[in-house]
């Protein structure tokens, strides 16, 4: 590399330039703007060796490492063929899109600028052009069938490296969009972020024991997760079969939102299941006094919890074990939440009764308005606790809303408790509780998909179903690569956010030494620091363009 001064409108600017022989011809592969004369003076005044500029390096190098280990680019290029032409392959484009989104390049147009100013343009020097149109073109080639084949290829790499799918955890979430008129996927539904004014896109995710995504699916925002599970389970079963894994050795984990006679029986026919009972099924198990519970230490948890086991229970036509898990902190939180809503409901009901009895001129309270106010103020999970309704008598609206005492008592007994069931009665009590609680990790990862500093699902800059599915797939692949990195460094329980923070401390700098020579160096890291350990363990030095 060397410096070059460009004159633009009679002003001089400094650039870093590198030429390289490609196919027998010298081509410029790097051209980075450094600054004008004032900038260079400030950078270099009073020092022998001068850092001219620096680039974020940790994330892209770690993602490159994970991609190579899992043969991510090769898997995509094997399935999505293209003409024999120069430049980035489909797999390289898609990996760059994951990297760019991880560093804030959310739109395709921003990808071009990000690439030219990122450390990746130093690493992939022979391919220094990036087209926003190609980004969209290659997303369009990610059909549902090809996405499944790519995921299957990645699953094989993981299995070959010892990442066994002995436990598979299923969960769903949704993300609101600014798509007004889309196709089938963006729909109004039960928004997790309370954005009922927006169309949402649902995302189903299955992770393995190491919290690494095993498969994902984008689905209609108004579709129930139990319907989605039926389709995903068929794909899961085929993928397990392709890996030549005995399905009877696998345990599927899902929450009560997926519970149905059909789903539970179908899973238990092929593999073991750990699930959660709904409130109506579970309430009889909540009657037991806490004195009869035994204390266990939660895996990876600092606070202990209490459990009570029931064997030989008949559920969904199978003999099952039920374990009730109790946590004191959860009980306190749930109690406080309910009582806060109860107070709010009482205030609104009082106001509605006063408006319904009001005489004189002015707009009167109508039945429809009153019932809408009641359903708005009573959360769905508490509606079974209240008996409420609206009638008109003598031209006045009468509002009725009373607590059903027996139901409220049952609710209080359920606070802090969770009824977990399984058909695998050989599992120890603590193991059953801990297997189910691994769901918390997948729920945590869904939160990171909302974090703008990581691999955010939002904003959606695509609106057709095909490209929405491709967008979801790329975000999930980004999550997979981060989770794989965490496992590689021996930190399976580290949050994606914390991992990204550590990687961001690894930077490379362009320094000017004697004469006109410029070199690329890794910025100094404290010995034994987390970032230095990751740099060493993943051997990220091999990506530094010396």
DSSP string, 5-17: EEEETTEEEEEEE
Q: Where are the beta strands (DSSP E) in 166-199?
A: 167-176
Q: CA 208 to CA 170: how far, in whole Å?
A: 9
Q: Which residues, in sequence order, are CB contacts of 381 under 8 Å at separation 6+?
A: none
Residues of the chain with pLDDT under 70: 1-4, 6, 8-18, 20-52, 125-129, 298-304, 360-363, 452-453, 512-518, 546
β-pair partners for 167: 251
**Nearest Cα to Cα of residue 320 among 252, 170, 420:** 420
Tokens 């009764």 belong to: 353
Q: What is the pTM of this model?
A: 0.81
Q: Where are the beta strands (DSSP E) in 9-107?
A: 11-22, 25-36, 50-56
What pLDDT is recorded for position 35? 61
What pLDDT is recorded for position 80? 93
Long-range contacts of 311-317 (CB under 8 A, 24+ apart): 311/425, 313/421, 315/264, 315/277, 315/281, 315/421, 316/261, 316/264, 316/265, 316/268, 317/261, 317/265
What pLDDT is recorded for position 496? 84
Residue 69: phi, psi to the nearest 5? Answer: -65, -35
Q: Domain 144-327+416-488: which topology? A: Transposase Inhibitor Protein From Tn5; Chain A, domain 1 (3.90.350)
Q: CA 218 to CA 308: how far, in whole Å?
A: 38
What pLDDT is recorded for position 317? 87
What pLDDT is recorded for position 353? 87
User: Where are the chain's structural domains?
Assistant: 2-54+509-528+539-543, 144-327+416-488, 330-413
For 9-40, write each residue's pLDDT tens digit. Answer: 666 666 666 676 656 666 665 666 566 666 55
What pLDDT is recorded for position 301? 46
Buried b (16+ CB within 10 A) or exposed e, 459-492: ebbbbebbbbbbbbbbbbbbbbbbbbbbbbbebe
Q: Find out whether 61 and 537 touch, Cβ atoms under 8 Å.
A: no
Helical pair 225-242 and 261-270, crossing angle rounded to 10 deg: 10
Intra-chain end-to-end CA distance of the chain, in Å: 10
Token representation of residue 174: 């949704």
Helical pair 439-448 and 496-503, crossing angle rounded to 10 deg: 50
Q: CA 240 to CA 424: how far, in whole Å?
A: 19
Buried b (16+ CB within 10 A) or exposed e, 513-541: eeeeebebbbeebeeeebbbbbbeebebe
For 240-268, write each residue's pLDDT tens digit. Answer: 999 999 999 999 999 888 888 899 999 99
Residue 470: phi, psi to the nearest 5? Answer: -65, -40
Q: Find out whether 24 and 2 touch, Cβ atoms under 8 Å.
A: no
What pLDDT is recorded for position 302? 46
């Amino acid at each position: 590399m060397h410096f070059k001064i460009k004159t633009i409108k009679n002003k001089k600017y400094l650039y870093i330039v590198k030429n390289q022989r490609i196919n027998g011809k010298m081509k410029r592969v790097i051209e980075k703007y450094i600054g004008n004369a004032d900038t260079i003076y400030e950078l270099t005044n009073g020092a022998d060796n001068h850092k001219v500029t620096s680039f974020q390096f940790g994330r892209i190098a770690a993602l490159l490492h994970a991609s190579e280990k899992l043969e991510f680019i090769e898997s995509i290029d094997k399935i999505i063929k293209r003409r024999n032409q120069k430049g980035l392959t489909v797999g390289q484009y898609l990996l760059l899109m994951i990297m760019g989104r991880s560093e804030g390049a959310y739109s395709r147009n921003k990808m071009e600028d990000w690439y030219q100013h990122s450390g990746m343009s130093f690493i992939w020097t022979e391919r220094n052009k990036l087209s926003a149109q190609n980004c969209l073109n290659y997303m369009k080639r990610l059909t549902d069938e090809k996405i499944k084949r790519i995921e299957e290829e990645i699953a094989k790499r993981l299995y070959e490296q010892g990442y066994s799918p002995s436990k598979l955890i299923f969960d769903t979430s949704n993300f609101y969009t600014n798509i007004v008129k889309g196709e089938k996927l963006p729909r109004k539904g039960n928004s997790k972020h309370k954005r009922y004014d927006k169309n949402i896109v649902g995302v189903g995710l299955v992770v393995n024991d190491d919290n690494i995504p095993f498969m994902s699916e984008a689905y209609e925002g108004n579709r129930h997760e139990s319907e989605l599970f039926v389709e995903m389970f068929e794909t899961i079963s085929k993928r397990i079969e392709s890996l030549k894994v005995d399905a009877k050795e696998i345990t599927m984990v899902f929450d009560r939102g997926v519970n149905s006679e059909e789903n539970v029986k179908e899973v238990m026919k092929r593999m073991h299941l750990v699930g959660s009972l709904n409130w109506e099924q579970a309430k009889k198990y909540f009657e037991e006094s806490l004195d009869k519970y035994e204390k266990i230490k939660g895996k990876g948890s600092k606070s202990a919890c209490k459990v009570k086991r029931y064997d030989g229970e008949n559920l969904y036509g199978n003999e099952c074990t039920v374990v009730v898990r109790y946590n004191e902190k959860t009980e306190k939180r749930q109690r406080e939440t309910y009582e806060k809503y109860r107070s709010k409901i009482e205030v609104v009901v009082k106001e509605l009764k006063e408006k319904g009895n009001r005489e004189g001129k002015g707009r009167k309270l109508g039945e429809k308005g009153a019932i809408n106010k009641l359903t708005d103020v009573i959360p769905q999970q508490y509606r079974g606790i209240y008996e409420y309704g609206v009638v008109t008598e003598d031209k006045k609206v009468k509002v009725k809303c009373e607590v059903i005492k027996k139901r409220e008592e049952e609710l209080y007994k359920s606070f802090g408790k969770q009824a977990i069931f399984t058909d695998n009665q050989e599992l120890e009590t603590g193991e059953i509780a801990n297997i189910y609680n691994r769901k918390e990790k997948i729920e945590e990862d869904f939160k990171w998909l909302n974090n703008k500093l990581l691999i955010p699902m939002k904003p959606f800059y695509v609106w057709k179903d095909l490209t929405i599915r491709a967008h979801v797939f790329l975000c999930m692949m980004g999550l997979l690569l981060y989770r794989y990195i965490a496992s590689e460094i021996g930190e399976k329980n580290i949050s994606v956010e914390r991992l990204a923070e550590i990687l961001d401390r690894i930077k490379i700098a362009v320094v000017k030494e004697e004469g006109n020579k410029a070199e690329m160096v890794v910025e100094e890291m404290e010995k034994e620091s987390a970032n230095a350990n990751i740099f060493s363990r993943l051997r990220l030095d091999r990506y530094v363009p010396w």
